[in-house]
């Protein structure tokens, strides 16, 4: 095998290999890979920052959604409170109005009753006077005697009281 002809084959290959490998490492790989490494690092950084940004945006939107839900809940509570208050107020005002109207009616009823009583008294007095005159006239016609007005009146009174 030519590979084992060390005396003739080894040294030139070894020397060229070392030279070429040094050239490869310092002249090619060292000049190119760091550029690539930088780009890869930048890309990783960008991806990481993008993910962080997205996470922050998501947290913000979550917060906004929570705020919104809380706002809705608060508004609903407010509306309910306002509704309750309005209901209570309207009930109260109806009550007072009813009470006021009731008082007025009572007064009117009382007034009417006193007037009725007065009218009845007046009517009674007139009836008595008319009855007394009628009794006087009847007695006069029957007996020809004219009874005194006061007697007639007293007789009417006792008759009516009975």
Partner 1 sequence: MSGPMEQFQIKVLRPIEANGYDLSFTNSSLWMAIALGVVAIFMFVGTMRPQLVPGRWQAAVEYLYDFVRNMVDETVGPEGKRFAPLIFSVFIFVLACNLLGLIPWVGAFTPTSHIAVTLGLAAIVFGIVCIVGFALHGFKFFKLFWPAGSGVLLGAFVFVIEFLSFLSRPFTLAIRLFANMTAGHVLLKVFGTFVVTLGSFQALPYVFGVLPLAVNVALAALEVLIAVVQAYVFALLASLYLNDAINLH
- Please work out, in degrees rounded to the nearest 5, the angle formed at the alpha carbon of residue 150 by the alpha carbons of 147 and 154: 100
Stretch that binds partner 1, among 39-47, 52-60, 73-81, 111-119 (CB under 8 A): 39-47
Stretch that binds partner 1, among 29-37, 56-64, 96-104, 130-138 (CB under 8 A): 29-37
Residue 48 found at the interface with partner 1 (CB under 8 A): no
Residue 99 near residue 112 (C-beta atoms within 8 A): no
The greatest distance separating any two alpha carbons of the chain, rounded to the nearest whole angstrom, comes to 196
Least Å from the CB of residue 38 to partner 1: 7
Residue 73 found at the interface with partner 1 (CB under 8 A): no
Kindly determine how many residues on this chain lie close enough to bind partner 1 according to the rule CB under 8 A: 39
In the chain, where does DSSP find H-type helix? 6-22, 30-143, 149-161
Residue 131 near residue 156 (C-beta atoms within 8 A): yes
CA dihedral 126, 130, 136, 141 (to 10 degrees): 180
Q: Which is nearer to partner 1, 6 or 158 (CB)?
A: 6
- Coil vs helix vs strand at 145: coil
- Coil vs helix vs strand at 155: helix
Q: Which is nearer to partner 1, 38 or 157 (CB)?
A: 38
Residue 10 found at the interface with partner 1 (CB under 8 A): yes
Stretch that binds partner 1, among 33-41, 49-57, 59-67, 135-143 (CB under 8 A): 33-41
Determine the Cα–Cα distance for residues 138 and 54; give it in Å rounded to an integer.
122
Residue 51 found at the interface with partner 1 (CB under 8 A): no
Least Å from the CB of residue 50 to partner 1: 11
For binding to partner 1 (CB under 8 A), which residues are involved?
1-6, 8-18, 20-21, 23-25, 27-40, 42-43, 46
């Amino acid at each position: 095998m030519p590979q084992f002809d060390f005396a003739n084959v080894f040294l030139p290959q070894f020397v060229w290999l070392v030279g070429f490998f040094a050239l490869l490492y310092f002249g090619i790989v060292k000049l190119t890979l760091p550029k690539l490494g930088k780009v890869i690092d930048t890309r990783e950084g960008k991806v990481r920052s993008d993910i962080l940004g997205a996470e922050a945006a998501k947290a913000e939107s979550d917060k906004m959604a929570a705020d919104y839900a809380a706002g809705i809940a608060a508004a609903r509570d407010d509306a309910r409170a306002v509704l309750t208050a309005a209901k209570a107020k309207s009930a109260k005002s109806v009550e007072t109005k009813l009470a006021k109207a009731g008082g007025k009616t009572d007064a009117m009823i009382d007034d009417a009753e006193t007037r009725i009583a007065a009218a009845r008294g007046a009517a009674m007095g007139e009836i008595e006077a008319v009855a007394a005159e009628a009794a006087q006239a009847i007695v006069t016609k029957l007996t020809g005697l004219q009874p005194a007005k006061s007697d007639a009146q007293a007789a009417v009174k006792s008759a009516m009281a009975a």
